[in-house]
């Protein structure tokens, strides 16, 4: 397939999911980041929703860089929260990172596949130069 680039194929340390999946895929002008959980070097941090949200967003920032993108290129975010009571705290952190370029967003409650309070994936748009 032309115009599709896969970056950094993930492994079991990337949130407890087994292969195969890529952390980020560029398809033409769109960049898709796989769901990210609050992990550092494969270990889920056990702190509250604020710290977990910060870690997820930092993981996304690092992954977007692999495809030469930043948060400014993000056009859509999907968020899964383990506990809907965490929404206000999550949203206050989210706003710090996305206030200048707010993307479309869906936020739902869901039991997660790993022991975390949050998971996020993003879609970015950056035309190929």
Q: In a 3-state reduction of DSSP, which class is residue 92?
A: helix
What pLDDT score does 67 carry? 92
Residue 23: which CATH number?
3.30.1330.40
Strands (E), 10-93: 22-27, 30-36, 39-40, 43-44, 74-81
Task: In whole angstroms, give the CA distance from residue 128 to residue 35.
Answer: 23
What pLDDT score does 8 carry? 63
What pLDDT score does 45 carry? 95
What is the 8-class DSSP label of residue 17?
A: P
Contact at 8 Å (CB) between 51 and 45? yes
Q: Across the 129 residues of the chain, what is the mean pLDDT of every consecutive 10-residue run?
A: 65 51 90 95 94 98 94 98 98 97 97 94 94
Q: What are phi and psi of 85, to 5 degrees?
A: -70, -15
- Length of the chain, in residues: 129
What pLDDT score does 10 carry? 52
Task: In whole angstroms, give the CA distance from residue 117 to residue 99.
Answer: 22
Contact at 8 Å (CB) between 98 and 76? no
What residue numbers bound the domain in which 58 lies? 4-125
Nearest by Cα to 35 from 89, 90, 77: 77
Residues contacting 116, CB < 8 A, separation 6+: 37, 38, 39, 44, 52, 82
Instruction: Give the chain's domain count.
Output: 1
């Amino acid at each position: 397939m032309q115009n599709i680039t896969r970056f950094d194929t993930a492994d079991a340390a990337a949130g407890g999911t087994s292969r195969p999946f890529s952390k980020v895929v560029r398809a033409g002008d769109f960049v898709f980041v796989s769901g990210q959980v609050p992990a550092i070097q494969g270990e889920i941090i056990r702190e509250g929703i604020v710290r977990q949200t910060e870690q997820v967003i930092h993981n996304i920032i690092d992954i977007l860089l692999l495809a030469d993108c930043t948060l400014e290129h993000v056009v859509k975010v999907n968020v899964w929260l383990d506990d809907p009571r965490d929404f206000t705290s999550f949203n206050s952190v989210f706003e710090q990172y996305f206030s200048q370029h707010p993307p479309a967003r869906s936020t739902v409650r869901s039991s997660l596949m790993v022991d975390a309070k949050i998971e996020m994936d993003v879609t970015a748009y950056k035309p190929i130069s």
